[in-house]
Amino acid sequence: MTCHTNADLQKIVNEAALHTVYGEVAGYIPALAEVNRHDLSAAVYNIKEKSCIYAGDYQNKFTLQSISKVLVLALAIQDMGSEYVFGKVGMEPTGDPFNSISKLETSIPSKPLNPMINAGALAVTNMIKGESSDEKWHRIIEFVGRLVNDKNVSCNEIVAKSEFETSWLNRALCYFMKQHGVINGDVEELIDIYTRQCAIEMNCFDLARAGAVLALDGKDPETYEEVIPSDIARVCKTLMVTCGMYNASGEFAIKVGIPAKSGVSGGILAVVPNKCGIGIFGPSLDKRGNSIAGVKVLEMLSNRNDYSIF
């Protein structure tokens, strides 16, 4: 039984939603903790038909959080080139938690292992071009706007402010990297941009559309214009497979087998090359920080439609 209609997808969502009770909503900032743990919405943008199927309360908005890491990476490589970016940040998956600082200390020279852990993502945001902090931020939000075809995509200022005020660990990572020459400039400004990029808000439909761009190797699924050069889109998808789902990336690759990036808000951006982009929102998280029901939706979708790239 493949999934092709809203009704098909709704059935999957209904079944997956039974798992929300086994997870927890991220509680470290009030704005994230206020959501309904049982929410689950999903959208699939099919690039062939240029149309989207969806299920659940698909208009629910959520912040990107770590999902922003892969989008900003795409912009940073465009800005600085692959060699520069990966001269500062590695390409290797890690068995350590996303916010670990130990590995920065034990690896010589100090270099975040990849752009999907916090240290690497902060270093990547630090590379975004712009004369001022403001310009850098506007280039990020504008780029995300192009991916979702919504010039009005916005940042949830309450979430951004709340995270800015409590990002002690990210500041620790930044100062450690500043010591070792991985990042430069003012740490507070970097934390400001980074917390804003994490607080960019959209619904699962928007996210599916961003995924469709990656599914098309960087081309806009409606106009076929290049939004991201194809080699960069491919780099992003590869890193999504090897490190996109935190410390469960390996297991996700085995069980689902498609490029995906999750965030602690409960969002997941997933990509089936040449087929579709997928956006999920389910704020109940498993122990690794991935949407517990969202992973189930992707597992069922992948099995039914034979989406695995392996």
Q: Taking CA 240 as the corner, what is the angle to CA 238 and CA 241, rounded to the nearest 5 degrees?
A: 65
Nearer to its own copies, 97 or 130 (CB): 97
> Which 233-292 residues touch its own copies, going by CB under 8 A?
234-235, 237-239, 241-243, 247-251, 253-254, 257, 259, 273
Question: Both tokens of residue 99?
Answer: 């916010």
Among the listed residues 54, 58, 194, 307, the single catalytic one is 194
Q: Provide, rounded to whole angstroms, the least separation between the CB of residue 125 and its own copies.
A: 17
Catalytic residue among 45, 54, 246, 307: 246
80 counts as binding its own copies under rule CB under 8 A: no
Restricted to residues 84-123, the positions that interact with its own copies (CB under 8 A) are 90-96, 100-103, 105-107, 113-114
Burial environment of residue 144 by CB neighbours within 10 A (0 to 12, 13 to 18, 19 or more): buried
Rounded-to-integer distance, Cα 110 and Cα 180, Å: 6
195 token code pair:
């917390």
Residue choice 59, 81, 158, 175 for contact with its own copies (CB under 8 A): 175
Q: Is 171 in the site for its own copies (CB under 8 A)?
A: yes
Length of the chain: 310
Burial (CB < 10 A; 0-12, 13-18, 19+), residue 126, is: buried
What lies within 8 Å, CB to CB, of 14 at 6+ separation is none
Q: How far is the CB of 100 from its own copies (least distance, A)?
A: 7
Q: Interface residues with its own copies (CB under 8 A)?
A: 90-96, 100-103, 105-107, 113-114, 168-169, 171-176, 178-179, 187, 234-235, 237-239, 241-243, 247-251, 253-254, 257, 259, 273, 308-310
